[in-house]
Chain A
């Protein structure tokens, strides 16, 4: 929780950039624990669609979330190997399955713009702003919201 405070206090925030379904997203680096190749993903029967499975990451059980699904982009194509961004949320380990990981960008907090009102609701629900980069737009993902609204979906 203190982490999200950090995001707003500093003038610059570092983001780990990731590609999901052709769109560039940014995750605050303070919340990213590691980036790994998900290996031997075990599916979980009866789980919601966005739970891609569980896997063993150095002795910890990590729940893999298919970000394609989470963002309403359909199921991720199984043929391409995915990358995963490791995140700890409320003491539990999660891996967000994404397509590729890009560089780390340091962006000024005051250039972040609010989410456009016409953004797809799936995306709008989990993002907390947009940065205009030279060539493309970077959607900032709010980790808390990725999990919180996921809860409602799971419960519903």
Chain B
């Protein structure tokens, strides 16, 4: 019998027995949503599997039953009649299964009686359940699906090779077996390769043996016991010099070690095993949905503990189905969007920081945030008010809530809100996490992170405060011995321990203080072993009292009572029989990063969000020192390389004739020397007919990156440092240099102000943008009053100081720009004051909302010409009004 079919029969048999029991429970306790969820999920799984195996009769029955149960979930009262009907449907499914087991094919015939009854009950459901027609309408396509499956099934049957024949072929064939074709074939081509695949699969199957997992588990336990006994024997032998046991004991010892290793290996399987069914599923789906789908699988050889593998198999299948059904657009739609007609679903698996990461991504339409929010509110998962405050990422998480589905139409593939729920449950079970990243129009990516639980890892055994802990080797980069009088010593910046390691400063964390087990003993703060650990981009040192050795350990999941401790990913039994906890480098990284940047997170979060959402063009250059410097490109008028011969001096200051004017040259700092020969690079800043040349050593590049000033600077002319293209870069303050070029630059503009007399109230919480834009506004001839928040702005307005226009940021802590605008509009004295919004949020939604609350204009934060134009326009309007 087909392996898949046998597996299906076993699984379904078990599921159905559970459904029977659960249904009876449910009838007695119809308000128990948990039981219902459970039954629903089981039936859904049966339906899904039947669809995949090409068992149309079973699928149709399960689908009809599921539809009716969906009604229960939507609130239809549970009647005995309905439950009886579902039970008899399940009985019928069982009968069919029995036949299937006997004849290895689905018995002929159909079940219009039961399906009709089920559908009637669905339609008769009280009107309260609004989408009643949808499930009913979904039934007819089922019939079409039936045909499709049979058509698909036939050629495959032909492709199958009887076992006898295989056996014969096997004996006759000399030499190595042909390698099976790469798994990552486009689904469409797969059918041709299928026959080949089947053959080689069967050959491999002949070399392997199915062993009950319990047997393996038992074997594992026994080996652990054996190791313990061996260790005891070794201990005894050590006490007796020249014992005649020594030699055989040595042999026993090495055999035991090998045995242990071997048994551990039996539990490992490449993740490709869990992916085996996927090409077939994707192929069938692509036919059923009328979409062209390419399945790209990477890292199939990544090894996983078989138990983990079992648990993630179904979630993966669900997710691939979801991607195919919801994620990818129909070919016609893709064409209009300028995407290739064939959609891609990519699966990849790899090890990272002691975790196994599995990614499922598609290049489809991405998650529909608005729809998810709407649905979450409608299903009462979240209140409307709470949803408004949530970020996209938070909203996306709702797809994992039970009973959540945004699919407009219920299809037989997915769209009943079971899938992601099941996925989440299964992944939770093995202590993993799942995240979703989505970008509208470009697709979504699910990242499953499975901790090492159950897997075998090599770990470093360390000691802290007398207890031993295991640190997964994968995360460890190197070990450093720190001593007070050596090259490597632990230093402190205020209270934070750090280590100078080559050219870097490594933040350190003491394991015992982290775990709150500091016994005060043995605490010489300058000494210790430092386990240099890397998680993602974060590198840090874990300080421990001692390091023993590395050992291959079998990670066992922690008890549920301990799972909340983020510092541990599991526990294990060492070779000597003791239980130790396994450190989770990710948990430690979070706490390390948490202590250093969390505080700044809180007050900078708003600014960060702005900065995070926005890529800006930055001009990178070098001027004095090796560290690169940067300035937003929008502030720079031109880049010039001038001949050094053209540099003239007046009154000791360098100048050049530039476009018919004298342009002063200003050095970024004392370290920058004007070149004597060749060409001199300049950044030219112009405003109101005057220009200034900023002398730099070298113009490096123009890059797009997020601008997030992490370390403010005390140095004049430098706003602070930011990481740009993963390099620490100083951001220069143009406002500092302008008055150096023309001492009257600001005075001059201030004089003009008197004539113009337009005062701008500039509301911006980020010091960076304040410093950057204030000079720009000043140099454009406005008087500027800057405040750091909306409340301060209202105070200024109340104080009666002259304010002609307001330029405000939108995203601010406390009161935001929208609220400020409303408050300004609400006050009679200021009701007509022009307000220009300045923000990273320039979506159509935000602009519309801005218009409603009374913004006169809406300008992107780095659009300097746009801002000046908007101000001019408002000033002109005001003049006319005056």
The chain A residues found within 8 Å of chain B, CB to CB, are: 40, 42-48, 51, 54-56, 58-61, 63, 65, 90, 92, 94, 147, 150-151, 154-155
Q: Are B565 and A46 in contact (CB under 8 A)?
A: yes
28 contacts between A and B (CB under 8 A): A40-B579, A42-B467, A42-B580, A45-B467, A45-B567, A45-B581, A46-B515, A46-B516, A47-B562, A51-B561, A54-B571, A54-B579, A56-B573, A56-B579, A58-B221, A59-B220, A59-B224, A59-B225, A59-B573, A60-B221, A61-B556, A61-B572, A63-B562, A92-B559, A92-B560, A151-B561, A154-B561, A154-B564
Assuming the contacts A47-B565, A94-B559, A151-B561, asked whether A61 and B516 have C-beta atoms less than 8 A apart, the reply is no
Which B514-548 residues have a C-beta within 8 angstroms of A? Answer: 515-517
Q: Are A44 and B562 in contact (CB under 8 A)?
A: yes
Asked if B865 lies at the interface with its beta carbon under 8 angstroms from chain A, I say no
Q: Which residues of B contact A51 (CB under 8 A)?
A: 561-562
Interchain nearest-CB distance for A106 vs B (Å): 31
Given contacts A54-B571, A63-B559, 16 further A-B contacts (CB under 8 A): A45-B467, A46-B565, A47-B561, A47-B562, A48-B561, A54-B559, A54-B579, A59-B221, A59-B222, A59-B573, A61-B559, A61-B572, A61-B573, A92-B560, A94-B559, A154-B564
Interchain nearest-CB distance for B394 vs A (Å): 21
Distance of A48 Cα from B516 Cα, bound (Å): 12
Distance of A149 Cα from B605 Cα, bound (Å): 37
Which B214-249 residues have a C-beta within 8 angstroms of A? Answer: 220-222, 224-225
Asked if B577 lies at the interface with its beta carbon under 8 angstroms from chain A, I say yes
Distance of A65 Cα from B559 Cα, bound (Å): 11
Distance of A15 Cα from B225 Cα, bound (Å): 31
Return the chain A residue nearest B580 by Cβ.
Answer: A42
Which B576-596 residues have a C-beta within 8 angstroms of A? Answer: 577-581
Q: Are A46 and B225 in contact (CB under 8 A)?
A: no
Of A46, A59, A92, A155, the most chain B CB neighbours within 10 A belong to: A59
Q: Which residues of A contact B225 (CB under 8 A)?
A: 58-59
Return the chain A residue nearest B570 by Cβ.
Answer: A61
Distance of A63 Cα from B579 Cα, bound (Å): 10
Q: Are B561 and A61 in contact (CB under 8 A)?
A: no
Return the chain B residue nearest A40 by Cβ.
Answer: B578
Q: Which residues of A contact B565 (CB under 8 A)?
A: 44-47
Interchain nearest-CB distance for B874 vs A (Å): 55
Q: Are A56 and B562 in contact (CB under 8 A)?
A: no
Distance of A51 Cα from B564 Cα, bound (Å): 13
Q: Which residues of A contact B578 (CB under 8 A)?
A: 40, 42, 56
Q: Are B571 and A61 in contact (CB under 8 A)?
A: yes
Q: Which residues of A contact B515 (CB under 8 A)?
A: 45-46
Chain B interface category by residue count: 20 to 34
Of B221, B222, B560, B564, the most chain A CB neighbours within 10 A belong to: B560
Interchain nearest-CB distance for B582 vs A (Å): 11
Distance of A42 Cα from B222 Cα, bound (Å): 22
Interchain nearest-CB distance for B56 vs A (Å): 37
Return the chain A residue nearest B218 by Cβ.
Answer: A59
Q: Which residues of B contact A150 (CB under 8 A)?
A: 561
Assuming the contacts A54-B579, A56-B573, A59-B573, asked whether A45 and B517 have C-beta atoms less than 8 A apart, the reply is yes
Interchain nearest-CB distance for A16 vs B (Å): 22
Distance of A54 Cα from B104 Cα, bound (Å): 50
Interchain nearest-CB distance for A49 vs B (Å): 12
Q: Which residues of A contact B577 (CB under 8 A)?
A: 40, 56
Q: Are B581 and A44 in contact (CB under 8 A)?
A: yes
Q: Are B571 and A46 in contact (CB under 8 A)?
A: no
Q: Which residues of A contact B572 (CB under 8 A)?
A: 61
Contact of A90 among B560, B579, B581 (CB under 8 A): B560
Q: Are B516 and A42 in contact (CB under 8 A)?
A: no
Return the chain A residue nearest B464 by Cβ.
Answer: A45
Interchain nearest-CB distance for B34 vs A (Å): 14
Distance of A55 Cα from B515 Cα, bound (Å): 19
Q: Are A45 and B516 in contact (CB under 8 A)?
A: yes
Q: Are A155 and B579 in contact (CB under 8 A)?
A: no
Of A40, A63, A94, the most chain B CB neighbours within 10 A belong to: A63
In the complex, the 5 A-B pairs of residues with the closest C-beta atoms, listed nearest first: A45-B515, A59-B221, A63-B559, A59-B224, A54-B579
Q: Are B467 and A43 in contact (CB under 8 A)?
A: yes
Interchain nearest-CB distance for A135 vs B (Å): 35
Interchain nearest-CB distance for B222 vs A (Å): 8
Return the chain B residue nearest A63 by Cβ.
Answer: B559
Return the chain A residue nearest B224 by Cβ.
Answer: A59
Return the chain A residue nearest B567 by Cβ.
Answer: A46
Interchain nearest-CB distance for A64 vs B (Å): 10
Return the chain B residue nearest A147 by Cβ.
Answer: B561
Return the chain B residue nearest A94 by Cβ.
Answer: B559
Interchain nearest-CB distance for A50 vs B (Å): 9
Contact of A151 among B467, B560, B568, B573 (CB under 8 A): B560
Q: Are A42 and B581 in contact (CB under 8 A)?
A: yes
Contact of A61 among B222, B560, B579 (CB under 8 A): B579
Interchain nearest-CB distance for B17 vs A (Å): 14
Q: Which residues of A contact B467 (CB under 8 A)?
A: 42-43, 45
Q: Which residues of B contact A56 (CB under 8 A)?
A: 573, 577-579
Distance of A9 Cα from B559 Cα, bound (Å): 31
Q: Which residues of A contact B220 (CB under 8 A)?
A: 59
Interchain nearest-CB distance for A63 vs B (Å): 4
Interchain nearest-CB distance for A138 vs B (Å): 27
Distance of A151 Cα from B578 Cα, bound (Å): 26
Distance of A82 Cα from B295 Cα, bound (Å): 58
Distance of A151 Cα from B560 Cα, bound (Å): 9
Q: Which residues of B contact A54 (CB under 8 A)?
A: 559, 562, 571, 579, 581
Distance of A55 Cα from B145 Cα, bound (Å): 55
Q: Which residues of B contact A43 (CB under 8 A)?
A: 467, 517
Q: Which residues of A contact B564 (CB under 8 A)?
A: 154-155
Q: Which residues of A contact B517 (CB under 8 A)?
A: 43, 45
Q: Which residues of B contact A90 (CB under 8 A)?
A: 560
Which B464-518 residues have a C-beta within 8 angstroms of A? Answer: 467, 515-517
Q: Which residues of B contact A154 (CB under 8 A)?
A: 561, 564
Return the chain B residue nearest A51 by Cβ.
Answer: B561
Q: Which residues of A contact B516 (CB under 8 A)?
A: 45-46
Distance of A60 Cα from B573 Cα, bound (Å): 8
Interchain nearest-CB distance for A146 vs B (Å): 11
Distance of A90 Cα from B559 Cα, bound (Å): 10
Distance of A102 Cα from B579 Cα, bound (Å): 29
Interchain nearest-CB distance for A55 vs B (Å): 6
Distance of A122 Cα from B517 Cα, bound (Å): 28
Interchain nearest-CB distance for A47 vs B (Å): 6
Q: Are B221 and A63 in contact (CB under 8 A)?
A: no
Q: Which residues of A contact B567 (CB under 8 A)?
A: 45-46
Distance of A46 Cα from B558 Cα, bound (Å): 13
Of A44, A51, A94, A151, the most chain B CB neighbours within 10 A belong to: A44
Q: Which residues of B contact A60 (CB under 8 A)?
A: 221
Distance of A40 Cα from B580 Cα, bound (Å): 11
Distance of A47 Cα from B222 Cα, bound (Å): 30
Return the chain A residue nearest B577 by Cβ.
Answer: A56
Distance of A43 Cα from B516 Cα, bound (Å): 12
Return the chain B residue nearest A57 by Cβ.
Answer: B579
Q: Which residues of B contact A45 (CB under 8 A)?
A: 467, 515-517, 565, 567, 581
Return the chain A residue nearest B566 by Cβ.
Answer: A46
Q: Which residues of A contact B224 (CB under 8 A)?
A: 59
Interchain nearest-CB distance for B430 vs A (Å): 13
Interchain nearest-CB distance for A59 vs B (Å): 4
Q: Which residues of B contact A151 (CB under 8 A)?
A: 560-561
Distance of A46 Cα from B588 Cα, bound (Å): 13
Return the chain B residue nearest A43 by Cβ.
Answer: B467
Q: Mark B189-226, 1 if CB is under 8 A from A, else 0.
A: 00000000000000000000000000000001110110
Interchain nearest-CB distance for B556 vs A (Å): 5
Return the chain A residue nearest B556 by Cβ.
Answer: A61
Return the chain A residue nearest B515 by Cβ.
Answer: A45
Of B222, B561, B581, the most chain A CB neighbours within 10 A belong to: B561
Distance of A40 Cα from B561 Cα, bound (Å): 20
Interchain nearest-CB distance for A31 vs B (Å): 17
Distance of A54 Cα from B516 Cα, bound (Å): 18
